[in-house]
Amino acid sequence: MEGSGHGSAGAGGGTLSRLLDEAPTSRFHRRAAVISGMGFFTDAYDLFVISTVVVVVGDQWHLSLDQRNLVASAAIFGAFLGAFVFGRMADLVGRKRIYTLVAAVMIVGALLSAFAQDWVWLAASRLVLGLGIGGDYPVSAVLMSEYANRRDRGRLVGLVFSMQALGLVVGPLVGLALLGSGVSHDLMWRLLLGLGAVPAASVVALRARMPESPRFEAQVRGRAGQAAAQLARFSEGAVQAHDVDGAPLTRLPARQLLTGRTLRIVVATASSWFLLDYALYGNTLSLPAILHEVAPTATLAATLGLSLVLFAVFAVPGYVAAFITMDRIGHRRLQWIGFSVMAGAFAVLGLVPGATTTVAPFLGLFGISYFFIEFGPNTTTFVLPSELFPVRQRTTGHGIAAGVGKLGAFVGVFVVPALQGGIGLRGMLLVAAASAALGALITRTLPEPAGRSLEEITGHPAPAGVAAGDDGTGVHLPLPV
């Protein structure tokens, strides 16, 4: 669906939120998705190349297993903190300011990492990088969700997240290219980490020029006129400022976050994200060790090649399939499907002895789990919290969910290798199967937001002449006329 000048949203007037919901998908939406998505390219690239870097620096600096794990997990722990802190800040000072700030933090963290002189420096730099990555989760997701129309919201927010797929593929490709170039291993890992600053740097200026969320401007700051003017500009004429009814809105009163329905949503979105990231990051950052057990004679280059096969053949199509179909399938339903198939694939790997002793069957089953991770909870755990919280608590709620998710990833980085060493690869995969099955059960408690307005999802649709918004109390705010 393309914006073609004056779409149907520009006729007949209505509330600002209604015009946003019915606006045609335009070039602005795609541009916003790409600018936001570059943060997730950086996220995937930086978080997953560290598994290769740790192998190299671990040998170079003679690191213990605990030191290697701390280097590997530092960015994830930083993301846990960053999601909480920057998510809350974006609800207090606005989405746009934090949107630019987190990209700058990612640049600083990537460059500091490239110049590390010891493992403590490297871990601290990765922690800084993680703060920016964590902050990018709630701000990018919520901005895109609040820009989007109701019909394509899942696609648009999913497109932001699907930029991770490029990062997953580019990381191993860059590693293979550097290995083939003949550069020293010391220079190789520094280049791998330093290049993570490039995508973030490419969008800092673009993010600074993006408009503040119109829903936030109108419903939180009470600037309906300014929000409407921004809406006309960013929709490139598809929605006209003079079509918005009324004068500036009364600001929504501040409410506590963790009460009633909102508390239930926080618990369900955060716990399902925790379970997903435990399995995803634990398995992915331990992938070299996992592949070494399946193929003990594989070289570092061969391991990178096998990782690339998993990402390119299974993960990338999963992202694409989620992006194309999630608004038709349903966001909650897609998450349930993905968790269920993940559980089945991990269970087969854990229960069938030959599945983890030969490369082809392992790659096939592990690849299926990767496809349904992306065509399912890895995408939807990002999308759902951007839709299910009221506007005043939206980035805070998303930040809590994302932060708890990254806590699951942090746990996975330590627990997965310990389980693999203690109960074996098959036992570790059975634990992953159980976590995915629990994620499927928790998903059933969430509402289905696909195709509904953000205001309706939070419990209070806005009829004509009523300001879209829900402050958690059920109050509808009339527009002055």
Give the start-to-end residue ranges of the domains of the chain. 11-459
| Per-chain mean pLDDT for the chain | 82
Burial of residue 7 (number of CB atoms within 10 Å: 0-12, 13-18, 19+): buried
Looking from the CA of 216 toward its CB, the CA atoms found within 13 Å total 23
Q: Using an 8 Å Cβ cutoff, are 346 and 338 in contact?
A: no
More reliable by pLDDT, 58 or 260: 58
- The Cα 477–Cα 82 span in angstroms is 33
* Cα atoms found within 13 Å of the Cα of residue 81, Cβ hemisphere only: 12
Of the pLDDT bands very low, low, confident and very high (cuts 50, 70, 90), residue 73 is confident
Which CATH number does 11-459 carry?
Answer: 1.20.1250.20
Q: Are 146 and 215 in contact, with CB atoms under 8 Å apart?
A: yes
Kindly report, residue by residue over 366-378, the tens digit of the pLDDT: 889 989 999 999 9
**Residue scoring higher pLDDT (360 or 407):** 407
Taking the CA atoms of 229, 231, 235 and 239 in sequence, report the sign of the dihedral they define: negative
Residue type, 262: T
pLDDT digits 0-9 by tens, 102-121: 999 999 999 999 999 999 99
Residue 140 has pLDDT above 90, yes or no: yes
**What percent of the chain has pLDDT above 70?**
85
- pLDDT, one tens digit per residue, over 261-278 is 889 999 999 999 999 998
How many degrees, rounded to 5, is the angle at CA 457 between CA 452 and CA 462?
Answer: 80
pLDDT band at 255 (very low <50, low <70, confident <90, very high): low
Average pLDDT over residues 441-461: 87
pLDDT for 264 equals 93
How far is CA 86 from each of CA 109, 142, 201, 308, 391, rounded to the nearest angstrom?
A: 16, 12, 19, 32, 16
Residue 237 binned pLDDT confidence (cut-offs 50, 70, 90):
low
d(CA 391, CA 397): 10
Instruction: Report the share of the chain in percent with pLDDT over 90.
Output: 41
Residues 6+ apart with CB under 8 A from 120: none
Question: Nearest-CA neighbor of 280 among 202, 392, 380, 180?
Answer: 380
Q: Which residue has the higher pLDDT, 227 or 146?
A: 146
Which pLDDT does position 210 carry in this prediction?
Answer: 85
Distance CA 188, CA 267 (A): 42
Q: How far is the C-alpha of 197 from the C-alpha of 330, rounded, in Å?
A: 35
Nearest to 216 by CA among 456, 25, 390, 345: 390
Q: What is the largest CA-CA distance in the chain?
A: 75
More confident residue, 39 or 324: 324
- Torsion-angle region of 213 (φ positive above 0: left; ψ -120 to 50: alpha; else: beta): beta
- Which has more confidence, 284 or 410? 410
Q: How confident is the model at residue 239 (pLDDT cuts 50, 70, 90)?
A: low
- d(Cα 191, Cα 107) in Å, to the nearest integer? 14
Mean pLDDT value of segment 409-416: 83
- Any idea which residue has 């919201």 for tokens? 153
The CA radius of gyration of the chain, in Å to the nearest whole number, is 22
Asked if 201 contacts 57 with a C-beta cutoff of 8 angstroms, the reply is no
Q: Which of 298-307, 451-460, 466-475 has the lowest mean pLDDT?
A: 466-475
Across-strand partners of 477? Answer: 467
Q: What is the mean pLDDT of residues 439-463?
A: 84
For residue 246, pLDDT over 50 is answered with no
Rounded to an integer, the average pLDDT of 296-316 is: 79
Does residue 192 sit in helix, strand or coil? helix
3-state DSSP call for residue 467? strand
> Can you tell me the mean pLDDT for 346-363?
84
Look-up of token digits 């990381």: 171
For residue 265, the model assigns a pLDDT of 95
Q: pLDDT tens for residues 284-293? A: 666 777 777 7
| Listed range (27-31, 138-142, 251-255, 256-260) with the worst mean pLDDT | 251-255
Q: Which residues contact 263 (CB under 8 A, 6 or more apart)?
A: 257
| pLDDT at residue number 220 | 83
Tell which wins on pLDDT, 359 or 398: 398
- Asked whether the predicted pLDDT for residue 176 surpasses 90, the reply is no
What pLDDT, on the 0 to 100 scale, is given for residue 474? 31
Written as six digits, the tokens of 463 are 């009829």
CA distances from 135 to 113, 246, 329 (A): 19, 35, 29
Instruction: Give tens-digit pLDDT for 3-28.
Output: 333 333 333 334 777 878 887 788 88
**How wide is the angle at C-alpha 83 spanned by C-alphas 79 and 85, nearest 5°?**
115
Tell me what pLDDT residue 479 has: 26
**For residue 459, is pLDDT > 90?**
no
Give the number of other Cβ atoms within 10 Å of residue 186's Cβ.
11
Token duo for residue 334 = 């897609």
Q: Which residue has the tokens 């995408």?
A: 379
pLDDT of residue 146: 92
Report the pLDDT value the prediction gives residue 13, as an integer from 0 to 100: 37
What confidence tens digit (pLDDT) does each residue in 34-71 have? 898 888 888 888 877 888 899 889 999 999 988 998 99
Q: Over 70: is that where the pLDDT of 470 sits?
A: no
Q: Report CA torsion sign: 337, 338, 343, 348.
A: positive
**SS3 of 163-181:** HHHHHHHHHHHHHHHHHHH
